[in-house]
Structure 1
Amino acid sequence: MPWITLLLALLLSACGPTPDSSSATEGGLSLAETLGAEEDPGYARATAPRPFVFPDDHGPHPEFKTEWWYFTGNLSAADGRRFGYQLTFFRVALSPQAPQRPSPWGTNQVYMAHFALSDIDGRRFFAVERFSRAALGLTGAQAAPFRVWLEDWQASGPAHTFPMHLRAAAQEVSIDLRVEQGKPLVLQGDAGLSQKSAAAGNASYYYSFTRLPTSGQVHLGGQTFSVTGDSWLDREWSTSALAPDQVGWDWFALQLDGEEELMYYQLRRQDGGSDPASKGIWVAPDGEGRLLRRDDVELEVLATWRSPRGGTYPAQWLLRVPRKELELRVTPLLADQELDVSIRYWEGAVEVSGTRAGRPVTGRGYVELTGYAEDPPGAKVRH
């Protein structure tokens, strides 16, 4: 579900055309400003379940305002050294129709990408952001053969999509990974329609690959590590924004031993409660996905972390799913996995321990937290 890009899409719309590319920025609009932007009625909206067609739906859907290909994963080297990674590509439409311009630079589509690496044993976190307009081959996406790219960062695969090849490099870090299909994809929400509030059309089309065996290399500070592990891919497209009383979300993607996975996102309201549209999915070892509604999940914050850049985030959780007899403690592997990009948010590798039907269970995963880095109401973050 990670849909930080909804905010960034609105930010881009408010700021106008972006440069062809850029590295990490130092701030952006306030979250309140971004959430308050109005939607353009010229875009398509997710209003009802639809049939998914593959490999076509692995490619872009330019009639919708925003879209993302969201890879996260936990990796280990042969000596046990652990890494987490995030490689995400966001497509953003700046207008419903392409401009009628003879210039080869003319386009209504821009792309943004985030690349982050968590060096768990080294206690370091790296994150970089890039932008480019979808012109002259600088960035784009296609379904068959599969490819989404921004300059030399890319995810690519054959006509049938897998195996995928992920590549990204910045500063002193890079990844070169092969991602295999493990479990089949699962449709989130109502047959792939993921409602984000009670408002009609405030929804996305959303599917996930919850366990993708991964191998390859991590390069860090002149060292090369051969790694293996599991990745998670979220695919989502929409034309929607948060409801007026929603301030952010907590998103969990957890891979448990025993080949079970759990995704849950909690939409937070201004009054401190969780929105009824909060939901998730439980994926059984055979790949069958089972919807989890807000009332199926209990989420308790056990600790917090104060960002040196401002804002206080949850830093440990107790997550319960009573009807699955599941009780999990979710703990970040590094405290500071905050991406200081256009709009600051926390996204990082976590470890999981607990019980399932009274038996011990462990796991790994990723958590995304948005809306915690805001200044007090009425204040603005730096531009």
Structure 2
Amino acid sequence: MELRVRVARPWLRVLAVAALFLLSTGVGPSHVAAAQPSGAGAVCPDTAPAARSSDTAQSQGTGVRIPRDEAPHRDRAEWWYYVGHLRGVDPQGRPHCYGFEQVVFQFLDKGPEPLYIGHFALSDLTRGTFQYAGTPDSHPIPDTTDGFALDTGDWTMRGGSGKATLHAALPEYELDLQLRSAKPAVLHGDRGTIPYGPLGTSKYYSWTSAQAVGTIVDHGVPVQVTGLSWGDHQWGDNDFTIGAGWDWFSVQLTDGKQYMLYFVRDTSGKIVETIGTLIHPSGRTTKLSPAKLSTTDTGSWTSPRTGITYGSGWQVTVPGGRLTVTPNLVDQELDLLSTVGAVYWEGSVSVRGEIAGSPVTGIGYTEIYPPRPT
């Protein structure tokens, strides 16, 4: 993957951290940017069905345990992350289609109190536009067990045991969702512990079939929406200032199969760690061999804001087949460097390909976090 990265100097990173604390105390507005349309309104992708399943499973032995590990930990970095695809019809009978991302980061190494950063992005696939914001906050770790109750300013995230409620807002959109998982929690790697390349190791599990119901207020018009979401929770003693990056894919196929694929890169952009999980329609999981996984860019896009060149379209090899992953909007970059110190591409994608000789289609989300030379 070709990357042309405009890297912040160390003193700019210091200023970015200082800005986090100014914002968290209410000094200055949170950073909001609306991207120009990436072209005509995209075709609304088919929403893959969420399989019906029984109660959520817990790991055995010393691995990640649900619901205990839904609550915040005392590690250096932790995040709770939801993405998904939503459809709805407004009161005038007009159909709408969206992709969304809401994530809360917890950092314990940025100051005297924990630092919380919320990211929220809305891909309006009907209008062909993308809008996003980042909101920092600072407060003690929430005192919860068997669940989480996270605030970043007015944005909220609550949940546990495969259920969650989300609230976040942008100048032209407001999201309120209720999520309920239809499959057990998926523990990646070794009972929920993954190798993380130069970042060490990380705890990581996912809710890969979260059925979503709620409302999006779209330019002042309430749209009742339903759809399919994906939730991640990851934590560890990870120092992201070392400049490592990754390509990450969540894939939800219409035949009920799902994939989590993680390609971790060192500061030069070389893939140094590959993690993959196949989730079967029943909820059973298979740990995938790194030797049978690969990703290749099929195109590129250069951000007019940051100068970063990202892959734009990917050919992904999995055991028994290949998947072609296509962005539903070309420009889904979150340029939050000036406010919360991060810039990456995270967006709604469509998936097609062939597995075991049969054609497959589906939806997904892709995150490209570019490595940065140190």
TM-score by length of 1: 0.77
> Counterpart of 2:275?
279
* Partner residue, 1:153: 155
Of the candidates 23, 33, 39, which is equivalent to residue 30 of structure 2? 23
Q: Please, which of 235, 238, 242 is the counterpart of residue 237 of structure 1?
A: 235
**Which residue matches 2:145?**
143
Where do residues 177-192 of structure 1 align in structure 2 (5 Å cutoff)? 177-192=177-192
Q: Which residue of 2 aligns with 1:171?
A: 171
Greater relative contact order structure (CA < 8 Å, 6+ sep): 2
Q: Deviations over 1:40-91 (max 9, x none)?
A: xxxxxxxxx93333322111102x1111100111111245531000110111
CA distance in 2, matches of 1:194, 1:141: 27
Match of 1:364 in 2: 363
How many Å apart are 1:141 and its aligned residue? 6.5
CA–CA distance in structure 2, aligned partners of residues 220 and 297 of structure 1 = 39
Deviating above 6 A after TM superposition, structure 1's stretches of 4 or more consecutive aligned residues are none
Q: 1:360 to 1:260 in 2, by over 3 A?
A: same
Task: Check 1:173–1:274 CA distance in 2 against 1; reply closer, same or farther (3 A cut).
Answer: same
Report the TM-score, using the length of structure 2 for normalisation.
0.79
Match of 2:99 among 77, 84, 102: 84
The aligned counterpart of 2:73 is 61
RMSD: 2.8
Report the secondary structure of 2:298's partner residue: strand
What is the alpha-carbon distance in structure 2 between the residues aligned to residue 173 and residue 142 of structure 1?
Answer: 30
Q: How does 1:1-383 map to 2 (within 5 A)?
A: 15=17, 18-19=21-22, 20=24, 21=26, 22-24=29-31, 50-62=62-74, 64-78=75-89, 80-94=95-109, 107-135=112-140, 140=142, 142-144=144-146, 146-157=148-159, 161-197=161-197, 202-241=200-239, 247-270=244-267, 272-275=269-272, 277-309=273-305, 310-321=307-318, 323=319, 325-342=320-337, 343-371=342-370
Tell me the SS of whatever aligns to 2:291: helix
Judge conservation of contact 1:111–1:140 (CA < 8 Å) in 2: no
Per the alignment, in what secondary structure is the counterpart of residue 234 of structure 1? strand
CA distance in 2, matches of 1:61, 1:170: 29
Query: Given that residues 332 and 351 in structure 1 are in contact (C-alpha distance below 8 angstroms), is that contact kept between their aligned partners in structure 2?
Result: yes
Distance in 2, matches of 1:300 and 1:369, equals 13
The aligned counterpart of 1:41 is none
Partner of 2:3: none
CA distance in structure 1 between the aligned counterparts of 2:231 and 2:286, rounded to whole angstroms: 18
**Aligned equivalents of 1:154, 1:270: Cα separation in 2:** 33
How far is the alpha carbon of 1:170 from its aligned partner?
Answer: 2.4
- Is the 8 Å Cα contact of residues 142 and 148 (structure 1) preserved in structure 2? no
Could you list the per-position Cα deviations for residues 232-285 of structure 1 after superposition, in whole angstroms to 9, with x for gaps in the alignment? 1110111123696x742110011111111101111224555321x221111111
Task: Indicate how the Cα distance of structure 1 residues 144 and 240 shifts in structure 2: closer, same or farther if over 3 A, else same.
Answer: closer
Shift of 1:301: 1.0
Unaligned residue ranges in structure 1 (runs of 5+): 1-6, 27-48, 99-106, 379-383
State how far apart, in whole Å, the 2-side matches of 1:369 and 1:289 are. 25
C-alpha distance in structure 1 between counterparts of 2:295 and 2:187, whole Å: 23
CA-to-aligned-CA distance 1:198-217 (integer Å, 9 cap, x gap): x7x81111111111011111
Distance 1:271 1:110, change over 3 A: closer
Cα distance, 1:192 vs. partner?
A: 0.9
Query: SS of 1:142's equivalent?
Result: coil
- What stretches of structure 2 of length at least 5 have no aligned partner? 1-7, 34-60
Which residue identity lines up with residue 348 of structure 1 in the other structure?
A: G
TM-superposed CA distance for 1:357, in Å, is 1.8
Give 1:102's aligned residue: none
Q: SS of the counterpart of 1:57?
A: helix
